[in-house]
Amino acid sequence: MSSSAPSRLRSLLNHLLPPSPPSPHEQEQQQGQSRDQQQQSPQPPPQPTPPHLSHLSPTFFLERAAAIEPRAEAVYHVTANGAVLRRSYRELADRARGLAYYLRKRGLRRVGILAPNTPAFLETVYGVVAAGAVLVPVNYRLKEVDVRYILEFAEVDCVVVDGEFEGLLGGFRRARPGVEVVVDLDTDATEGELCGPFDEAVLEGLLYDQETGSKGWADLVSQTVANEDDMIAIPFTSGTTSKPKGVVYTHRGAYLASLANIVESGLNVPDGRCKYLWTLPMFHAVGWTFPWSVCAVRGTHVCLRKIDYPLIWKLLKEEGITHFNAAPTVNTLLCAHADAEVLPRPVRVTVAASPPTAHLFEQMTNLNLLPVHVYGLTETYGPITRGYMLPEWDQLPKNEKYGNMARQGHGFLTALPARIIKPDQPEGVLVDVAKNGKEIGEIVFSGNICCKGYYKDAEATRKLFAGGVLHSGDLAVWHPDGSIQIQDRAKDIIISGGENISSVALESMLVEHPAILEAGVVAVPDSHWGERPKAYITVKVKGKGGGGGGGAQTDLRGAEVIEWARTHSAISKFMVPREVEIVRELPKTSTGKIKKNELREWAKKGTPREALVG
């Protein structure tokens, strides 16, 4: 970081964070000035020819929001130092612009971000891309060695890191001492010790812009990009079975996915602005493109450093949250939490990451948490299908209605239709399964909401796109109405006595038991049947106190569950689990998926002592 005189810092900070909105007269002066300067150096952003084609890039959404409604609240956040921070769109855009010029000044082209859901993360999403650089979001729940692997593999020349997670960079920094590291302290400070290197970088960039002609956004990659098919970001898969893979996102793909997310989740609130709560990690598939979708409609990003159920309920009740996205597991614990209450106004909850149960959707709806059920992969910018609710379902019995809602549905607005293909064909041969709700095949996608491929991995990319479609690795049935419904990950399906058992379907049925909170089902070897299902379950706490986590205050025994499953009308005899083990908590990935690998390990080597109940 260059050292800047404190007085200069302060004067820039005053520009950055104006104590009060400027008068129209001040605005006029500011804007007149930058206009004049543009006139002196009449260099419009590089325009493709002909003029009716501009390359799509979602970074423009921030510049545009700040131009239309500079004073609108862009960010609400409780910082690491416990303060409530609010930033306007002008401030968010100014800070992103500062970061962009900082990166440009230093010639940085590939920027890692290792942070929870903070304002600095949002600023990095925009600032990095505006500088013409590529964003590499990293899961801060990974181990140091994995963080190092990803940052090295992605060839970053700069990392923005949240102060809490700086330690995770140790290995990488030792290996690559030349890489620029910018630490964000996530505070509300605008000067003094709490104002960390990230803030200083922003200021340095703003100064640099000022010194080099105050070109502002006009000289950044915002309104248009050299080629919309260029790389914008490389998020990584969670890599449960192998090394994480870098997924190549393009400007065009991110743009079209974020437009679809606006429409599908209804972020364009009539007569108001959405208040979007960041429960979904921003690092995960670049937050399913919502950093862009929310700015496109000038909504407020309500940032959250971590999942904190009492805080979430407080924000839902007091801060007028209109939308959030979360995995079924987060919603399950949210609904079961002691602070749960029916909300006075509906909140749209976009649900994905693993197949939700009908039971969960019923619980959510009862609390006025209205589900928008989507499905996708890191390889599809997050959501690429949606379970569209049909008005006529309101006439159906509840279990059917919520059962229909739990289907993964149809292709997204800007996607092409999802297909389900027979899994037993030679690689690259695509034969659709029957639309009978029974035949199981693999879900495949094509079109603009598919990633461009895996970074530096031609062989994995070839496999991903075998036959010209994107292979999800998820198994599903195709219903007569054209909707798809996931049965399992290919590796999670249980084959018992020649019958396919969907672990997802079995889990969905088990949580209908009044005492069961969550269920994870895996195959265990069986000398007679080949495989048989084993269920790990957590139980609801008695009464309602005690938080949303799994607890042990119940007398439920595994044998009772097995007995109950035998009498459950929808559980076929061959599906009844032979073993049920009650545990404190299920192992989960950072995005809330149950780690089936770990459950299989438990089944093989015995459940670890700390997971056992009692």
Instruction: List binders of its own copies among 477-506 (CB under 8 A).
Output: 480-482
Q: Taking CB under 8 A as the rule, does residue 224 contact its own copies?
A: yes
Nearer to its own copies, 32 or 525 (CB): 32
Selected from 181, 189, 194, 297, the binder of its own copies by CB under 8 A is 297
Helix (H) or strand (E) holding 87: strand 84-88
Burial classification of residue 37, based on how many CB atoms lie within 10 Å of its CB (0-12 exposed, 13-18 middle, 19 or more buried): middle
Name the one residue in this structure whose structure tokens are 């000044």.
Answer: 105
| Residues of span 254-273 touching its own copies by CB under 8 A | 259, 262-264, 266, 268, 270-273
Q: Taking CB under 8 A as the rule, does residue 403 contact its own copies?
A: no
Q: Who's near 16: CB < 8 A, 6+ residues apart?
A: 91, 94, 95, 98, 190, 202, 203, 206
Q: Which two tokens stand for residue 141?
A: 């729940």
Q: Taking CB under 8 A as the rule, does residue 27 contact its own copies?
A: yes
Selected from 2, 8, 11, 28, the binder of its own copies by CB under 8 A is 28
Distance CA(466)–CA(472), nearest Å, equals: 11
Whether the upstream peptide bond of residue 577 has omega within 30° of 0, thus cis, is: no
Nearer to its own copies, 223 or 496 (CB): 223
Q: Taking CB under 8 A as the rule, does residue 92 contact its own copies?
A: no
Distances (CA, A) of 44 to 35, 39, 217, 222: 12, 10, 11, 12
- Give me the least distance between CB of 555 and its own copies, in Å please: 41
Nearer to its own copies, 261 or 363 (CB): 261
DSSP summary character for residue 15:
H
Q: Taking CB under 8 A as the rule, does residue 250 contact its own copies?
A: yes
Q: Taking CB under 8 A as the rule, does residue 325 contact its own copies?
A: no
DSSP 431-442: -BPPSSS--EEE
Q: Which two tokens stand for residue 24?
A: 């129209």
Distance CA(181)–CA(162), nearest Å, equals: 10
Selected from 144, 191, 211, 229, the binder of its own copies by CB under 8 A is 229
Distance CA(262)–CA(389), nearest Å, equals: 17
| Residues of span 370-399 touching its own copies by CB under 8 A | 370, 388, 390-392
Nearer to its own copies, 17 or 370 (CB): 370
Q: Who's near 598: CB < 8 A, 6+ residues apart?
A: 587
Selected from 115, 125, 326, 469, the binder of its own copies by CB under 8 A is 469
Half-sphere exposure of residue 536: CA atoms within 13 angstroms, side-chain side: 27
Q: Taking CB under 8 A as the rule, does residue 365 contact its own copies?
A: no
Nearer to its own copies, 25 or 174 (CB): 25
Q: Taking CB under 8 A as the rule, does residue 448 contact its own copies?
A: yes
| Residues of span 66-85 touching its own copies by CB under 8 A | 67-69, 71-72
| Residues of span 122-181 touching its own copies by CB under 8 A | none
Core vs surface per residue 281-318: b (16+ CB within 10 A) or e: bbbbbbbbbbbbbbbbbbbbbbbbbebebeebbebbee
Q: Which two tokens stand for residue 124?
A: 């990095």
Number of residues that bind its own copies (CB under 8 A): 78
Selected from 31, 366, 553, 572, the binder of its own copies by CB under 8 A is 31
- Give me the least distance between CB of 133 and its own copies, in Å please: 21
Name the one residue in this structure whose structure tokens are 């990935």.
Answer: 589
- Give me the least distance between CB of 400 and its own copies, in Å please: 12
Mark the segment that binds its own copies (CB under 8 A) among 179-187, 360-368, 475-483, 599-607.
Answer: 475-483
Q: Taking CB under 8 A as the rule, does residue 49 contact its own copies?
A: yes
- Give me the least distance between CB of 317 and its own copies, in Å please: 20
Q: What are phi and psi of 505, to 5 degrees?
A: -65, -40
Distance CA(237)–CA(245), nearest Å, equals: 5
Mark the segment that binds its own copies (CB under 8 A) among 221-229, 357-365, 562-570, 573-581.
Answer: 221-229
| Residues of span 554-613 touching its own copies by CB under 8 A | none
Nearer to its own copies, 464 or 522 (CB): 464
Selected from 9, 56, 220, 575, the binder of its own copies by CB under 8 A is 56
Length of the chain: 614
Q: Taking CB under 8 A as the rule, does residue 346 contact its own copies?
A: yes
- Give me the least distance between CB of 411 and its own copies, in Å please: 7
Q: Who's near 392: CB < 8 A, 6+ residues apart?
A: none
Q: Taking CB under 8 A as the rule, does residue 434 contact its own copies?
A: yes
DSSP summary character for residue 514:
T
Q: Which amino acid is at 417?
A: P
